[in-house]
Amino acid sequence: MDDCLFCKIIKGDIPSARVFENDDVFAFRDINPQAPVHILIVPKKHVANVLEGADAGIMDGVMRAAAQIAREQGLAENGFRLITNCGRDGAQSVNHLHFHLLGGRQLSETMA
Ligand code: AMP
């Protein structure tokens, strides 16, 4: 997608603080972190959100990447949150499926 911010980041046309990459998944630090660790985990193939859906292999890769990154970032012992926003009410601002990995402090018990 030519006009997609995250596609441009994945291609390297826009700089990012990359923390993980393989054939299917790219992960980088959120520019506006909401926690000491705030990483965006993104399938390289453009999919708008969970309603559009990514194939099972890609979603498995995203979840495996999330677990690996969480361990590498030192979040395994105390835990973390992994969330995706979808659409207007979900406050999705970038229409390329992504998961927020948040941790490094005690997170709020409320989700909204
Ligand atoms: P969402 O609101 O769930 O669509 O999440 C989009 C996230 O992308 C927000 O947390 C933004 O802070 C983040 N973001 C926007 N532009 C950039 C960028 N250039 N580099 C890293 N993160 C970004």
Q: How many domains does the chain have?
A: 1
Find the domain containing 62 and state its range: 5-79+93-103
**pLDDT value at residue 54:** 79
In a domain, 87, yes or no: no
| 108 is a domain residue | no
Residue 85 within a domain: no
Q: What's the pLDDT score for residue 1?
A: 78
**Does residue 88 lie in a domain region?**
no
Residue 32, domain CATH: 3.30.428.10
Distance (angstroms) between ligand 1 centre and the Cα of 39 equals: 10
Residue 14 alpha carbon to ligand 1 centre in Å? 13
The predicted structure's pLDDT at residue 5:
98
Rounded to the nearest whole angstrom, what is the distance from the C-alpha of residue 72 to the centroid of ligand 1? 21
Which of the residues are catalytic? 98
Note the pLDDT of residue 2: 81
Could you tell me the pTM of the whole model? Answer: 0.97
Assess if residue 66 is contained within a domain: yes
Which of 19, 29, 32 has the most ligand 1 atoms within 8 A of CB, as the residue to mutate? 32
Q: What is the pLDDT of residue 93?
A: 98
CA distances from 112 to 20, 32, 35, 51, 73 (A): 28, 18, 15, 20, 25
**Is there a domain that residue 110 lies in?**
no
pLDDT at 82: 98
Structure tokens at 73: 């970032």
Q: Which residues of 15-31 are buried (b: 16+ CB within 10 A; e: fewer)?
A: ebeebbeeebbbbbebe
Cβ of 93 less than 6 Å from ligand 1: yes
13 lines ligand 1 (CB under 6 A): no
Taking 50 as the pLDDT cut, the residues of the chain under it are none
Is 111 inside any structural domain?
A: no
- Nearest C-alpha to atom 13 of ligand 1 is from which residue? 30
Residue 11 inside a domain? The answer is yes
